[in-house]
Structure 1
Amino acid sequence: MKSIDFFKRRFVRWGQIFVSCLMLSFGTSLYAASSQNLAGYILHVEMTPAVCALDSSRQKQRKCLEGYSLTISSLLPEVPVNRNCETKSSATLSPLQSTVVARVMPNETERVQLWQNVGGCVPMNASQYFRTIINFAERLKIPTDLTSQNTITVQKESLRQQFTKLNPSLPANGIRFSCQSSRSDSILTEIRVCYHKNGQYKQCASHVVTGCPSEFTIKGSY
C-alpha cells in the first residue's frame, strides 16, 4: 500500500531534501510547556476538492484554484466547553515559516483568525503553534485514495485500516471522518486526528464524533 506525504499537493511533488530542510529549520519536537485543563489536540484535515465542489463561495480561493488535495483547517486544543480561548497576541510568522505553513494552510486571513480563536488555550506562541501543525502534517501518512484525481467510493472501516497501517502508532479510534450529503451520496469532507499534549496519537474522546455512514465518496479532481 502506498502513502503520500501530506505536503505533496496534487500536481506538486516535493523533494526529500526540501522536506528534510524544513524539519531541521522548524524542529521535530513539541515544546514541553503545559496548559491547565488541556487534554490534547485535534487536527482537522480538510478534503479540499469536496469542500470546493460543495461550497460555491470558496471556489475562487487559492486552495480551490490551485488544486490542493488536502489542507488543514485547524489544530484545536481540547479544553473544557465554554472556555474562552481568544488571544490578542501576534499571529505574525517569519517569511520562511509563513511560506511553509501556506503549503497546508494557504489562506493567511484564516490562519490569523484561527490563532486569535485558539491561542489563549495553547501553551505556545503563534510561531510554535504553526510549527506544531507542520510537524503533525509532515508525520501523518495519507492513503493514496485521498489524493487521487478519481472520484471513488470507499468503506469507512477500510479507510480507517489504511490509516492505521500507514501510521502504526495511530489507534483505530484515533481518527474520525466527517461527511456531507449531496444528492444520493455522502461525500467525505474532513478527517480529524486526535493527539495527546505531547504530540503522540491517542483515542478520540466521545465528543469527537464520526459523521459518515459505512460507505462514502472521496471526491477527486474538480
Structure 2
Amino acid sequence: MRSMLQTLICYLVLSFGAPLYAADNADIAGYVMHIQMTPAVCSFDSTRQKQRKCLEGYSLTISSLLPEVPVGRECETKSSAKLSPLQAKVVARVMPDENARVQLWQGVGGCVPMNASQYFRKIINFAERLKVPSDLTSPNTIDVQKENLRQQFTKLNPSLPPNGIRFTCQSSRFESVLTEIRVCYQKNGQYKQCSSHIVTGCPNDFTIKGSY
C-alpha cells in the first residue's frame, strides 16, 4: 500500500535538509491532522468547486494540521506564509490551493514553535508516513463499516492506536458520506490517542464518495 506522498520522497530528500522540528512549545499537547475526502467535500460545497482540488480531481487533501493548545489562546500571525517554489510544489500535492495554505498559516502560526516553511514540512512528513486504505482513493463510490475502515488504518499503520483516528460524515438524502478523517499526533510526530474533545461524527455504516 502506497503512502500519501511516497512518490515524493526524492523531492523531500533533495529539498529539505534543515531539521524538521523546532523546539517544542510547552503549551502544545499534540497535533491533529485534518484530511478531507475531496470528492465529497466538493460535491457538498458549491463554493469550493472552482478550487484546484475540485477541478483536478484530488481524492484526498489535507486541510490543516492544528496544534492542541489551551482553549482561548490566540493563534493568529502576520508572519509570512511564503514558501520556496520547490517546497510549494511539494506541498501542493496534498494542499493544492495556495490561498487556503496562506489562510491556514495565518490562523495557526502564532501557536506553533516554527516558521511557515518548517510547519509545512511537518505536514509533508506526516502525510508521507501515513498509509491510507485503497477504499479512500477508489474511483468507485462504496459503502463501508466504520470499524472495518479503522482496522484497515491500524493494520497499515501499526503504531496508530485504534482511537488515534476519527471520522466525520455529512448526511446526504438517505446516507451518511465520509467528509473528513482526523489523525492525532504527539508533539514529536508519533501517533497518539485522540483527546476526548475530538469526536467522531459518523454512524457505524457510511459511504465513501469516489467521484464528483
Q: Same fold (TM over 0.5)?
A: yes
Q: Give 4+ residue runs of structure 1 displaced > 4 Å after superposition.
A: none
Select 1:41's aligned residue among 31, 36, 47. 31
* Residue 57 of structure 2 corresponds to residue 59 of structure 1: no
Alignment-mate amino acid for residue 85 of structure 1? C
Q: 2:150 matched to which residue of 1?
A: 160
C-alpha distance after superposition, 1:1-36 (max 9, x if no partner): xx332138xxxxx4xxx5233234225964150113
Structure 1: which 5+ residue stretches go unaligned? Answer: 9-13
Inter-partner Cα distance in structure 1 for 2:19 and 2:192: 17
Alignment-mate amino acid for residue 6 of structure 1? M
Q: 2:75 matched to which residue of 1?
A: 85
C-alpha distance after superposition, 1:37-72 (max 9, x if no partner): 100000000000000111111111111111100000
Q: 2:206 matched to which residue of 1?
A: 216
Partner SS, residue 4 of structure 1: coil
Flag the 1:28–1:174 CA change in 2: closer, same or farther, 3 A: farther
Q: Give me the identity figure in percent.
A: 76
8 Å contact from structure 1 (residues 42, 76) kept in 2: yes
* Residue 170 of structure 2 corresponds to residue 194 of structure 1: no
C-alpha distance after superposition, 1:115-136 (max 9, x if no partner): 0100011010000000000000
Inter-partner Cα distance in structure 2 for 1:30 and 1:211: 32
C-alpha distance after superposition, 1:59-109 (max 9, x if no partner): 111111111000000000000111100111111111100111111111111
The TM-score, its normalising length taken from structure 2, stands at: 0.96
C-alpha distance after superposition, 1:161-202 (max 9, x if no partner): 000000000000100000000001100000000000000000
The TM-score, its normalising length taken from structure 1, stands at: 0.92
* Residue 26 of structure 2 corresponds to residue 7 of structure 1: no
Q: 2:94 matched to which residue of 1?
A: 104
* 1:25-36 equivalent positions in 2, closer than 5 A: 25-26=15-16, 30-36=20-26
* 1:171-186 equivalent positions in 2, closer than 5 A: 171-186=161-176
Inter-partner Cα distance in structure 2 for 1:137 and 1:23: 15
Q: 2:160 matched to which residue of 1?
A: 170
Flag the 1:170–1:27 CA change in 2: closer, same or farther, 3 A: farther
